[in-house]
Chain A
Amino acid sequence: MRLAAFGRRLSWCGLLCLCLLVLSLRAPVASPLQSDPNDWAAVLAEAKGQEVYFNAWGGDQRINDYLAWAAEQLWDRHGITLKHVKVADIGEAVTRVLAEKSGGAEAAGSVDLVWINGENFAAMKQNGLLFGPFTERLPNWRLVDLEGNPTALLDFTVSTEGLEAPWGRALFNLLYDSGSVAEPPRSFEALLTWAEANLGRLTYPKPPDFMGTTFLKQGLIALTPDPQLLLAPPKDQASFEQATAPLWDFLDRLTPLLWRQGQHYPASGPAQRQLLADGALDFAFSFNPGDLDSAIALGLLPETTKAYLFDDGSLGNSHFLAIPYNAKAKAAALVTIDFLLSPEAQARKADPRIWGDPSVLAIDQLAEAERRHFQRLPNPPRALTAGLTAPVLDEPHPDWTQALEAAWTARYGR
């Protein structure tokens, strides 16, 4: 008898455990944007108390630190909890939103805000995964420099249509240690000559890492017969092959001269920078003119490191903030974007001691009080001094990016 009673008790315990587990797995509550986005006060009120899951590349600690600062500010000012979801590639967030769409999690998505540009934006836009248009409703939108920066509205030639707001700007540049390299090569052809003379001292991050892909695009623009063709999607396979043939020819000659003979590539730009610091490489790439100063300040690169640009131009683009269509905390995401566009946040971001990412605001048109934030900045970043002027090259259409990555992987990545 007793045994049976004990048995029942035990099985009740087990059932209880299972019930607790199932109960605790209940779905989160959906909350689409309730308020009229034109009524900013209402948006602010709705945003209070919301949690914003900001999916952003987490591979650079300075950026993570900056976002931690932004989180503090947003909490103090608007009662918003900003959570940085660190991703290795923003593609992860895109696939997650897609999975949610497939399952009908229409208003209970796990991603509230994404840091995005290029092919990821194109994919989200194409699949209808974005909320908006919203940019013109942001109070700080009027401060954004639209005239001086054509890439603010054209993301890799794709029109943003108000679905994403520019956050910062990038310019491809190269880093080298002036202690070991006297005169760095200033064009793709010179790079090859240099690699022949210095075996195993050069490499690039493995595409599809964005820094590696940027290197490919930079090479494509430099070597392709007609760069104008890159601004529209490739017409067909034949025209893609024709346009990219000089690049593959170049890489075929370069690859055996690379670090580890091209058998292995660094995983990312920062990983390449680490190898530069080790002295294992002579060059690293950066997409951010402020990178150099802060890396030196953090003890990640030696003092003797310098930055330079290729003579015939450098790829430049903007990076953006966007809100998935099924974000739970849309109001708070809007407020977060607006805050990140404020002169204070933009100035701090541009500070090379913090992050060093150039502002997207039209600084000379700011009111006196707003401009003061920027005047507190130290001298312009080292990377941009000493005659670092070269034409800014436009990003190719995102279709080129994906085709380029696939072709590279088939040729060198396997």
Chain B
Amino acid sequence: MRLILAGIISTLLLLPVAMGLLGVLLPAFGYLPVLGGEQVSLDVWRALLAEPGLLHASLLSLRTGLASTLLSLIFILLLLAGGETWLKRRLQALLSPLVAVPHIALAVGLAFLLMPSGWLARLGSPWLTGWARPLDWAFPNDGNGLALILGLVVKEVPFLLLVALAALPQIEAEKRLAMARSLGYRPATAWIKAVLPDLTRRLRLPVFAVIAYGVANVEMAIILGPSTPPTLAVLIVEWFQDPDLSRRFLGSAAALLLLSLVLLALLIWQLAAHGLAKVWLWLGAGGHRDLGERGLSLAALLVNGPLAALTLLALLSLLLWSFAGLWRFPEAFPAFSLDTWERHAKDLLASSLTTVTLALASSGLALTLSVLALEASSRDQRPPGRGSLLVLATPLLVPQIAFLFGVAVSAAESGLIGAWTTVLWGHLLFVLPYVYLALSGPYLGLDPRYAAMARSLGKSPLTILLKVKLPLLRRALLTAAAIGVAVSVALYLPTLLLGGGRVLTLASEAVTLSSGGDRRLLAATALAQAVIPLLALLLATWFGRTKLERRGMR
């Protein structure tokens, strides 16, 4: 049974990836009969290498991906390191729910906030800055990708923070901290030496996912990234959608190049981490009791405070724009108008509905499959092995564009494109791994004595699952479902490519609108996209509490 389930899940996750990669592998070597490519050759690669700006675009992808991951990791480690202070706890509480804000909404909000005619500049103009017209600054979309890195950091810090907060109890961080402090280590130093090394080991897979996303993402790079040239991922999308159909060969080869870039980034990260680990060992064994305690605390506040503020202001500027009439620079606030919401209520409602149904369906399906797989796992008394982890991680580590175009071609060939269920499958690809990973810790960590007790009372396994285990896991189930919803709501490429433009979610609408001319509608769409997962998280938190907690007794 375990085998059958493993088969089902592997098929669901690996088949499309394999199919999709094959779908770009052949054209990359010149084979695509419908476009007249019938000879296998290296011509495509030669053409790709001759493409202007290719090296620049590739390095940009690599750089933004690695830099954003490194910064995000440092930021959360600073926040977690050492003694808790009131401010740090507030920051953690503030940052954690922001994980649910979809990256598209976040990118749009950041652009609205930070661009030369953005809200920040408006707030300070002209009384402080003296600008009567927006400055000619290249930000966002700056050539170095700094805006893109910032956007990725703002997005990934809450994610890594949550993953780390979940991992800390598993390595008994509190006790280790107490032990090290009783040996005379200052709090942050104690944390860095006794907790951090094990924590980073536990964070490896999430960090890999962050790197892969950072190198290969499309939607944030379109909105915040440079354009001459853009990142490799954006170039690939352009090539695949070029009216000159022969460019698809180029896109296919570049998709493989992007896949190798991701692998290269992971390799660089691993090597660097290995090197750093040596330094850590040396530090740990050397008995420095104080590695600059004050500086660490101050840095934690200095980087994470503005980060949290940026996110909130970005969301606020979405709200402002969605209620704006004509909003000329440098007016600090727009003329209030309900126009946007009134004019587009119908459209927004329709795409919100599609978004929500897709999110609930994919999340529900993922939850069911995860529970079945975990139940099988816990019944065999064997934790899921490396193999299953790899299967789950594959859709998160292989760049979406590298295989989704191939999948889309296959789907088009079989007439499946644009079907709601095709899009659902595409969402499940990414929702299932996150839901499974969120659920597996609590599920496998459940005290086996509960089940043993129930069995000794003569209960059937199904009864035990439904009446004992699932109720005990209510909080974890709801959280996993909320994570699933958040992942699904944020998905852009699967919706775009498998939906064939027929299945319109808030994510795909927002990216389309981001190249257009109506900021107000874009803001309203992005806002709706941000509200749905936040609502899901709120509901999960509320219903995840016990009755006593809800009445405020505990």
Contact = CB atoms under 8 A, between A and B. Distances in A.
- Tell me whether A and B are bound partners: yes
Interface of A: 2-3, 6-11, 13-15, 17-18, 21, 24-25, 27-28, 53, 55, 58-61, 64-65, 68, 83, 85-96, 98-105, 108, 110, 119-120, 123, 127, 199-201, 206, 208, 259-265, 267-275, 277-280, 298-302, 402, 406, 409-410, 412-414
A7 B1 CA distance: 6
Contact of B1 (A10, A21, A85, A300): A10
Given A14-B4, A92-B501, A199 B136 contact: yes
A265 B326 CA distance: 23
B175 interface: no
21 contacts: A18-B8, A25-B421, A86-B512, A88-B512, A88-B515, A91-B241, A93-B501, A94-B243, A95-B245, A98-B35, A99-B412, A100-B412, A100-B413, A110-B418, A260-B136, A270-B518, A273-B517, A274-B519, A277-B326, A280-B116, A299-B325
B421 A96 contact: no
Given A10-B372, A86-B512, A277-B328, A61 B1 contact: no
B517 A60 contact: yes
Nearest to A411: B52
A414 B512 CA distance: 22
A102 B134 contact: no
Judged by DSSP, the binding face of A is helix
A49 B184 CA distance: 79
The 7 closest A-B pairs by CB, nearest first: A103-B413, A270-B517, A414-B53, A102-B34, A200-B136, A267-B515, A91-B243
B138 A280 contact: no
Contact of A28 (B52, B415, B509, B512): B415
Interface string B197-228: 00000000000000000000000000000111
A123 B143 CA distance: 33
Contacts of A68: 346-347
Contacts of B417: 96, 100, 110
A61 B521 contact: yes
A390 B4 CA distance: 73
Residue of B243, B413, B416 ringed by the most chain A CB atoms within 10 A: B243
Contact of B329 (A15, A104, A278): A278
B425 interface: yes
A264 B33 contact: no
Interface string B339-371: 100011011000000000000000001001100
Given A17-B369, A279-B328, 17 more contacts: A55-B501, A59-B515, A91-B243, A95-B243, A98-B245, A102-B409, A103-B413, A206-B227, A260-B137, A270-B518, A272-B517, A280-B329, A299-B326, A300-B517, A302-B326, A406-B244, A413-B229
A299 B337 contact: yes
Contact of A265 (B228, B328, B415): B228
Interface residues of B, number: 84
A61 B408 CA distance: 28
Given A21-B421, A25-B419, A302-B328, A96 B412 contact: yes
Nearest to B133: A279
A167 B8 CA distance: 50
A25 B228 contact: no
A319 B117 CA distance: 34
Contacts of A61: 343-344, 516, 518, 521
Nearest to B9: A14
B515 A85 contact: no
A271 B328 contact: no
B384 interface: no
Contact of B518 (A13, A267, A300): A300
A364 B245 CA distance: 42
A65 B414 contact: no
A119 B243 CA distance: 8
Contact of A14 (B8, B142, B242, B421): B8
A280 B368 contact: no
Contacts of B545: none
Contacts of A59: 512-513, 515-517
